[in-house]
Amino acid sequence: MDQSAVAQVLSLLSNMLGVKKQQPIARKPSFDEQMAAKGWYRHPDGVYREATPSPTPQSALDQFRFKMGQKDYSWAKPQLLKLFQAKNYPPLTQYVDNFIQAGNQYGVDPRALVTIANNESSLGRSYPPQTFNPFGYLGGAGETVNQKLNAGFTSIPHAIDALTKRFVRPGTPQGYTIFRTNPTVSNLQQAYNANPDERDRYLTNTADLLPFFGD
């Protein structure tokens, strides 16, 4: 009996006995595969980037809104963790709970301060660590390096709390008030750094984050 005949006999016996063919178990796509399906690929430096950058990121930036005034920002934690993973776990990863806690306390979207940190220090990768200031906050009114770094923070959690509170505290600069009313990417940039020479760099850096800031 040839092999095809044997296969037919075995198939017939299986049907008679009610033996069901075992279905292969579906494999869950890896994180790299999930990102690739969205058009993002891991580069040698460990950072995910679009294969072909959007030619008009400004439209997406104009449409995005941070969510201010909420009491529970726990929904933002998975977004931040995915962002930190895609960025190859930068130093600020370990403070994700501090961002959420400060957001809950002051009703400020924690993604706003993370966006600032991404622009100012690549999420804690590039800043003088003794300053505890990966947010580029200018502690003094002058333009010297020391004044820019001397914000008086004693720890990263202290900086996260103080700068999140800055969005809502009485007497805060007008830019923050405008941002609370209309929390766009552009208004966030105007609130903390209105320098027009840095606008393009800021918008490019922020566009890199939006795929992780989904609803």
Asked if residue 210 has pLDDT above 60, the reply is: yes
Per-residue model confidence as pLDDT tens digits over 84-133: 999 999 999 999 999 999 999 999 999 999 999 999 999 999 988 888 99
pLDDT on residue 137: 86
Phi, psi of 180 (to 5 degrees): -60, -40
pLDDT per residue as tens digits for the range 5-51? 656 666 666 666 655 555 566 777 787 777 777 666 665 556 666 65
Provide the 3-class DSSP secondary structure of residue 41. strand
3-state secondary structure 113-128: HHHHHHHHHCCCCCCC
